[in-house]
Amino acid sequence: MTTPLLRIDNLHVSFRVGKEMIHPVRGISLQLERGETLALVGESGCGKTTLARTILGLQAPSSGSIEYEGNDIAGLDRFRLKRYRPHIQCVFQDPFSSLNPRKRVEQLIREPLDIHQIGEASSRLKRAHEMMERVGLPTDWGRRFPHEFSGGQRQRIGIARALVMQPDLLICDEPVSALDVSIQAQIVNLLWELKRDMGLSYLFISHDLMLVETFADRVAMMYKGEIVETGPAREVWSNPQHAFTRRMIDAIPVPDVTRPTPPAFRIDAD
């Protein structure tokens, strides 16, 4: 029996806001196999991002374990976390706020290599340019700043920066929700190609069941800090077992193909 790439066991996360204790993650247990896409689906505020931050080591767990390739990484100090983080990278929801506006694109993509002091300066820049090409950006755009790009292009920059460390696992936290629908499809196709070509594993966080039903291998439904249902994506879609999953599916708008298309709006000149 192979060891899962990522195993989470009875994870709790709590923190204080003012005088109140908040419990965004409550006893979550999950595992992600190498080469798999696991979608974490839930409403806004259910704890998805807190779980992602805890896996990344940006939020300390209150209890429970997080194992990466069989090694417990929950509670590691910052020195040992630095050795672990290159293996797990993140693509954030807002591609603009996650990029430093004062740095040029090639600097942003190269930055993780600089922090971990991997290779010489020339090889780091070469690697950054390779990642730009890999995500569909011309290398001569590397001297530009983030504000000079569209939302979809900025998300490609974020993906290139995440990939420059050659991670095994990519956490995608609502990576397309801030983009136009037409651009969303391009980014999802890019992520699928990267998984196929680079052997990546994904923890794909979303609230869009229609998207994850086609993109993910398995789905974990999260409700009020807990996992209420897991299973193969198409099975969860076709035969939901939990009331929350059924409500999520029922809320998906269904087009009425029998309704006649309204005439195009037109203003006739006098």
Residue 270 lies in a domain: no
Residue 157 lies in a domain: yes
pLDDT (tens digit per residue) in 237-258: 889 899 989 888 888 776 665 6
Of the candidates 248, 180, 179, the one whose C-alpha atom is nearest the C-alpha of residue 39 is 248
How many domains is the chain built from? 1
Residue 208 lies in a domain: yes
22 in Cβ contact with 15 (< 8 Å): yes
Q: What is the pLDDT of residue 270?
A: 46
Residue 160 lies in a domain: yes
Q: What is the pLDDT of residue 264?
A: 55
Q: What is the pLDDT of residue 192?
A: 94
Residue 237 lies in a domain: yes
Residue 63 lies in a domain: yes
Neighbours of 264 (CB within 10 A): 5
Residue 1 lies in a domain: no
Between strands 201-206 and 37-41, the pairing is: parallel
Alpha-carbon distance of 206 to 234, in angstroms, equals 16
Residue 146 lies in a domain: yes
Tell me the CA distances in angstroms from 201 to 4, 29, 65, 104, 236, one per residue in order: 11, 18, 20, 29, 20
Q: What is the pLDDT of residue 2?
A: 81
Task: Mark 108-121 as b/e (b = at least 16 C-beta within 10 Å).
Answer: bbbbbbeeeebeee
- pTM (whole model) above 0.75: yes
From start to end of 99-168, where are the E strands?
none
Collapsed DSSP state (helix, strand, coil) of residue 12: strand
Neighbours of 82 (CB within 10 A): 13
Alpha-carbon distance of 34 to 69, in angstroms, equals 9
pLDDT (tens digit per residue) in 137-157: 999 999 999 999 999 999 999
Q: What is the pLDDT of residue 226?
A: 95
- pLDDT less than 50: residues of the chain: 265, 267, 270
Range of the domain at 89: 6-265
Residue 80 sits in a domain whose CATH number is 3.40.50.300
Element counts in the chain: helices (H) and strands (E) = 9, 10
Q: What is the pLDDT of residue 109?
A: 96
Of the candidates 32, 36, 16, the one whose C-alpha atom is nearest the C-alpha of residue 24 is 16
Where does residue 57 fall: left (phi above 0), alpha (psi -120 to 50 degrees), or beta otherwise?
left
